[in-house]
């Protein structure tokens, strides 16, 4: 047997060292493999969490937006029940979404569900979502509930947020009319009414009859019946002419709500003029106007405004 130095290849020491290195490489390989699995598992977990976050946030948001768009189309087509159905579904997904609340308030107002419209508008304001249109719907709805004081405050907020022009004139006219309904600050109401009429005439807007009715009603509250009657006699024929045009155009069914609103406005005009005739001791003319109100499908009374 030939003796080999321990540091020569093939010696026991060398064989032991080689075996140790092989063991170390194998252990390191297993460690790297486990680390790779851990990293892969972490990536999978992150992906799943991201997917859940997207599902819980982005997808519902997209669905809400689609429901709102569908509701808008339904509302524009006059299909208010369908619009409300879509917005209720959107509210279930996003109960604190101010856009959903505002759109629903507008639909509820058009459906004459004023108290519910007021609630949605107030929630929008609590969420610090206070665009001019929220206050506009709120003021109209409050007006319909007979809460004139709150309607005045809401209209003031709308006016504060309105830009100069027709939008501002409409807010001024509504504020003036609400003052007249509340029978308070009548001179302020008259000043606002005169200002809004000048603006509407300047811009050639088609809703001048409503402004003349407002001023006529203010004059009636102030006891200036001749001036009141003059405005009403200008407003009523103009609105009757608009209704005749609607009839001749044979508008699609989606304009039904608009026609009904115009008919109601005309009934309000007749009611206001009947009150003026009453004060002027002209009962026959007052009765003729009340008959016209009945023909339009409404009943004369304090709730007609």
Count of domains observed in the chain: 2
Whether 122 contacts 128, CB under 8 Å: no
Pair (215, 145) in one structural domain? no
State the CATH number of the domain containing residue 96: 1.25.40.10
Q: What is the pTM of this model?
A: 0.73
Q: By C-alpha distance, which of 196, 216, 200 is closest to 272?
A: 216
End-to-end CA distance of the chain: give it in Å, rounded. 125
With a CB cutoff of 8 Å and minimum separation 6, the contacts of 98 are: 124, 127, 129
Supply 19's token pair: 């075996």
* Cβ neighbourhood burial of 282 (10 Å; 0-12, 13-18, 19+): middle
Q: Does residue 29 sit within a domain?
A: no
The reply to whether 209 and 250 lie within a common domain is yes
Give the integer Cα–Cα distance in Å for 261 and 135: 20
pLDDT of residue 214: 96
Whether 50 and 153 map to the same domain: the answer is: yes
Residue position matching structure tokens 């060398």: 14
Cβ atoms of 117 and 91 closer than 8 Å? no
> Is residue 4 in a domain?
no
Residue 32 is assigned to a structural domain of this protein: no
HSE, side-chain direction, 13 A CA sphere, residue 25: 6
> What is the reported pLDDT for 53?
57
Residue-number span of the structural domain to which 52 is assigned: 46-161
Q: Which residues of the chain have pLDDT under 50?
A: 1-18, 20, 23
Give Rg (Cα) of the chain. Answer: 36
């Amino acid at each position: 047997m030939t003796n080999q130095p321990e540091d020569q290849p093939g010696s026991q020491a060398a064989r032991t060292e080689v075996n140790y290195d092989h063991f170390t490489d194998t252990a390191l390989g297993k460690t790297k493999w486990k680390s790779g699995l851990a990293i892969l598992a972490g990536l999978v977990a992150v992906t799943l969490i991201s997917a859940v976050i997207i599902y819980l946030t982005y997808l519902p948001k997209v669905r809400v937006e689609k429901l709102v768009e569908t509701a808008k189309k339904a509302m524009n087509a006059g299909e208010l029940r369908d619009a409300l159905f879509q917005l209720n579904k959107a509210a279930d997904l996003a109960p604190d979404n101010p856009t959903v609340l505002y759109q629903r308030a507008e639909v509820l107002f058009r459906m004459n569900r004023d108290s519910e419209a007021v609630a949605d508008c107030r929630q929008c304001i609590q969420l610090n979502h206070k665009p001019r249109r929220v206050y506009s719907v709120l003021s109209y709805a409050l007006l319909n509930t007979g809460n004139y004081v709150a309607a005045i405050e809401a209209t003031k907020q709308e006016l504060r947020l309105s830009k100069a022009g027709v939008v501002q004139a409409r807010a001024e006219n509504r504020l003036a009319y609400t003052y007249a309904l509340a029978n308070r600050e009548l001179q302020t109401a008259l000043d606002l009414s005169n200002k809004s009429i000048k603006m509407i005439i300047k811009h050639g807007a088609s809703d001048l009859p409503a402004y003349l009715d407002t001023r006529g009603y203010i004059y009636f509250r102030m006891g200036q019946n001749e001036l009141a009657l003059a405005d009403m006699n200008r407003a009523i024929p103009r609105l009757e002419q608009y209704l005749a045009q609607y009839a001749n155009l044979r508008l699609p069914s989606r304009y039904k709500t608009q026609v009904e609103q115009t008919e109601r406005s005309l009934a309000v005009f007749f009611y206001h003029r009947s009150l003026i005739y009453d004060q002027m001791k002209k009962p026959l003319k007052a009765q003729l106007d009340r008959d016209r109100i009945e023909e339009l499908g409404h009943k004369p009374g304090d709730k007609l405004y």
